[in-house]
Amino acid sequence: MKISKILFYVSFSLLILLQFIGCEEKYTTEQQLYVEELNQIRTETNEYMAQNPNSPFNAKGKIDFHNLNYFDANFDFIFRSKLYENAVKDTLVIMGTKGEQRQSIRFGYLLLDIDDEQLKLNVYKSQSQDGEVYYSIWFTDKTTGEESYGVGRYLNFELNEDPDFIYTIDFNLAYNPYCAYSKDYSCAIPTKEDFIDAEITAGEKIFHD
């Protein structure tokens, strides 16, 4: 489920503005538009999870559903960064939650300025069983296991062929992998190098109480 479509609704000027104004009790017109669009995406995600036969709540046996839990929109966790490709792209063994091994390439990284520190966010290149190449971001942070899912969270990433392209990294779009809802699914476990030394209070929270 690609929830990253919201990025197409947010203009360049708004993203620049958000980096300076941070999170406030009263939204500007631009912020309010963003919040409404984000809430619409979350509503559509809830509908998909509850009703679609391919969702993790329906595909492998019926699981009780309630609306997914989210942090409020947080403008402090929207970043812009170039993708820095690794000179040596190591192939790593990534463990799944069912104990299986997966191979992924540590393709590159993005840079995030959080609390006056520049932190790296790894981007992985993988290949599906049918040969499709895709890119992934998974991470843990100081909310992991407390307010957010204990394995970690994911962000969608679409590679742009322009090496100077500036990406938007919006943690309000961070989501739980399917294994957060059902033990019938396995998901990639972020490595120690995927830990963000900050509380990412944006995106999806833990599902189960």
Domain with 125, as residue range(s), is 3-194
Residue pair 65/50 in contact by the 8 Å Cβ criterion: yes
Please indicate, yes or no, if residue 118 is contained in any of the structural domains. Answer: yes
pLDDT recorded at residue 209: 64
Please indicate, yes or no, if residue 93 is contained in any of the structural domains. Answer: yes
What are 49-96's pLDDT values in tens digits? 999 999 999 999 999 999 999 999 999 999 999 999 999 999 999 999
Please indicate, yes or no, if residue 95 is contained in any of the structural domains. Answer: yes
Contacts of 144 (CB under 8 A, 6+ apart): 150, 151, 152, 153
pLDDT over 90 for what percent of the chain?
Answer: 83
What are 155-188's pLDDT values in tens digits? 999 999 999 999 999 999 999 999 999 999 999 9
Please indicate, yes or no, if residue 117 is contained in any of the structural domains. Answer: yes
| Two structure tokens written together for 27 | 């939204």
Please indicate, yes or no, if residue 208 is contained in any of the structural domains. Answer: no
Residue pair 172/143 in contact by the 8 Å Cβ criterion: no
Please indicate, yes or no, if residue 209 is contained in any of the structural domains. Answer: no
Provide the number of structural domains found in the chain. Answer: 1
pLDDT band per the 50, 70, 90 thresholds, residue 128: confident
